Chains A and B, each alone.
Chain A
């Protein structure tokens, strides 16, 4: 049986060259479908990756109870030291806990194309760099605590105007100069950073948004969490930083990803009709060849399988071509959406998704023609012109 499938399929593939343009309908159909879908998904995938990279299993974030975004959370000045004293937090060389009081605010920006948008301005306190060792200055210098200064991320610098060292950012009661450029390799690169306490005063805020801590080890989360959640003086939620960003990333990219899948699905339906068309034409062109094989004693099943395998080969070729186009056009390109700056991404998982979709389309588009090919009476097919 397997040998028969192999022989019929090989014969089949050899005759593909003669049906080149007809076969290209499937290849182009899937290539167009996958190129469009993965290009759209490169947005949500890139955003999710930027979020995911910002999370670290060695860190935990503390927000007010029930808050699922930093913006909704408020940690009072009184609560912050209590949180920093909890067990499970790593200490710096002076024996101080690596716990940092964070602040978030939207800040209006002018995009490179002249349109107006906004990004996030984030406050880091004295332990900011200790908690986030991935943060390093690539130009200029770090902001000084207590001074009205900001540093800008590489991504923000690439996407927005007036983000060079020496430029000024309008804040309440005065403009703050940009004194440095930083890199983190994650979502923070699209943001501005400054000193938490100075920013807090300027924005007339009375509470922090979060406390971010470095754990002694990833396993220390439970100890830390238990200490905070059982403390009756606190009303906070503790989450592993990597879990936090995975959830926030999934939430904020859900609709974008859905749009990509919906458009991809609609195009896949169009490609499916093309696939059906091509495979029907293929079995009708190969009618006599198939009948000859059957007359020689080859079974109906190997014939049917060969038709489906041909559809899969063509569809997967098209899908890989489409995925490659989407990758070449988008992958790594600096992009933005709302307050997020990130790199578009067409990852390995996307290529696998493309192959899966192509296989499904080919199965659906190949099965009916394959049944027709296998069922056609041999004598009738041999006589047909």
Chain B
């Protein structure tokens, strides 16, 4: 630490270089924070995924499958609780403001016990068929508070009266769960069912269930697929663990992409900082020789160079990850709604990885100049001929 003034003086010798290096490092770590933060979100989702929850929906069937399918699934061995769900996909005011409502029956409270929904909220929805509960993220997106009316247009779900608008009352606002950072809105299945033409009544979009034994959920999923494979309504079944494990985004390997971007950024700054420190040491070669003559040990000189290299890296990394954390919160406003990319999470692990990377970049940058300083011939260097 006592070398800090010396190092600081060295950095301030070329203020333009110092500032530009810092900015470049900062930009690279902003990307690092966003990409590795996205991975952190996927990891969190995988971790929070429940081993016992299973989703199943018709392989084919725009208007859904008869609710009887849910009852048949209930009878499959190893199934604990089953809820039948109807979706209302649509938009608010303009087709680009896509909205999505999940209409559930009373078993949802059992199957989705980890949704952060209080018994009062569930009960409110069972009592009021036109009522919905929004999570905070959704309430903010639609600028809704408790008691407000929420109207959406859906052309996918036909109404008996021929209208395309669906009106709901916001009964409560729930806290978001980390595994679903974009939030969700749910309402009462009875409402959608009674509003539809007779031919569509009793149809559900999806059936979600819990397995009695979490370790056997993959088997239960397979049993469901098998049971309906040759029926009029073949089902597509997936465990929540599998759905969340692959960091799956349309079949793309998100991990490989994000790692590639972060690595390219690091490579870019490595060249910049390595050159900066090499140049700085070259310019002050004689001064280092003087320091050594004065009795500064190799270790002390090494420490000074490492510190000079590390300061912009660490500071830039801290600023960059900070910017990433701020940007991550702005993403919902910048991206088209419901695009499906979760928000990056600047978790402690992300910060740790950023710190490790910054140190690595600093050490690698300082390595060659340190080697030169250690091998320097003091007399030659002092004469300025080195």
| Interface residues, chain A, with chain B CB atoms under 8 Å away | 21-22, 24-25, 28-29, 32-33, 35-36, 39-40, 43, 105-108, 111, 113-117, 159, 170-175, 203, 255, 263, 266-267, 269-271, 273-274, 276-278, 280-281, 335-338
Contact = CB atoms under 8 A, between A and B. Distances in A.
Contact of B251 (A33, A106, A337): A337
Interface in B17-43: 17, 20-21, 23-24, 27-28, 30-31
B242 interface: yes
A96 B368 CA distance: 78
B342 to A, nearest CB: 14
A111 B251 CA distance: 8
B232 A273 contact: no
Contact of A270 (B17, B27, B61): B27
Contact of B264 (A22, A36, A105, A174): A36
Given A32-B267, A33-B268, A273-B23, A266 B30 contact: yes
Given A105-B60, A267-B265, A28 B271 contact: yes
B252 interface: yes
Contact of B229 (A170, A281, A335): A170
B171 interface: no
B272 A25 contact: yes
Contact of A175 (B229, B232, B276): B229
A21 B268 contact: no
Q: Give the residue among A108, A278, A338 with the most B Cβ atoms within 10 A.
A: A108
Q: Give the residue among B17, B31, B59, B276 with the most A Cβ atoms within 10 A.
A: B59
A274 B279 contact: no
Interface of B: 16-17, 20-21, 23-24, 27-28, 30-31, 59-61, 229-234, 236, 238, 242-243, 246, 248, 250-252, 257, 260-261, 264-265, 267-269, 271-272, 275-276, 278-279, 335-336, 339
Contacts of B61: 172
Q: Give the residue among B238, B261, B264 with the most A Cβ atoms within 10 A.
A: B264
Q: Give the residue among B28, B60, B232, B250 with the most A Cβ atoms within 10 A.
A: B60
A115 B268 contact: no
Q: Give the residue among B231, B246, B271, B339 with the most A Cβ atoms within 10 A.
A: B271
B28 A39 contact: no
Q: Give the residue among B20, B31, B61 with the most A Cβ atoms within 10 A.
A: B20
Contact of B265 (A43, A270, A280, A338): A270
A267 B257 CA distance: 15
A335 B243 CA distance: 20
A281 B20 CA distance: 12
A43 B252 CA distance: 10
A267 B264 contact: yes
B279 A22 contact: yes
A157 to B, nearest CB: 15
Given A113-B246, A116-B236, A267 B251 contact: no
A269 B234 CA distance: 52
B24 A274 contact: yes
B27 A337 contact: no
Contacts of A116: 236, 238, 242-243
